[in-house]
Amino acid sequence: MNSSETTPNAMERVRANLAARYRAERRFQFYGKLAIAMGLLFLTLLFGSIIGTGYPAFQQTYMQLEVSLDPGRIDPQGDGSAESLRAGDYGGR
């Protein structure tokens, strides 16, 4: 067996496998790009869900109540002293 007989046979096998290897490499690159795209999609969905759920926390509600305070109940002695204010009926009892 001389080297001239084995070289063409080996080269043919390499050429035959080379096309399959290129297809496998393109498929591998496609899967990698697909995985990155899916990761970005899921990340976008996650941030959208967080923002959508947290959005109501940025709203502010105002309420206006009318409260009437009876001076006779708050300041029973009517002199505005600290003792009189402490003795006041703030609970409305």
- Give the residue extent of every domain in the chain: 1-58, 62-93
- First CA to last CA distance, the chain: 116
Give yes or no for residue 1 having a pLDDT over 60: no
Percent of the chain having pLDDT more than 90? 44
Answer for the pair 45, 53: CB distance below 8 angstroms, yes or no. Answer: no
For the question of whether the overall pTM of this predicted structure is more than 0.75, the answer is no
Model confidence at 39, in pLDDT bands (50, 70, 90)?
very high
What mean pLDDT do residues 74-81 have? 87
User: Does 5 score more than 70 pLDDT?
Assistant: no
Mean pLDDT for the chain overall: 87
Q: Describe the chain by its helix, strand, coil percentages, rounded to 5.
A: 70, 0, 30
The DSSP call for residue 64 is: -
39 residue type, one letter: G
Looking at the chain, the whole-number percentage of residues with pLDDT higher than 70 is 92
Please tell me the predicted confidence (pLDDT) of residue 64.
95
Q: Identify the pLDDT of residue 74.
A: 85
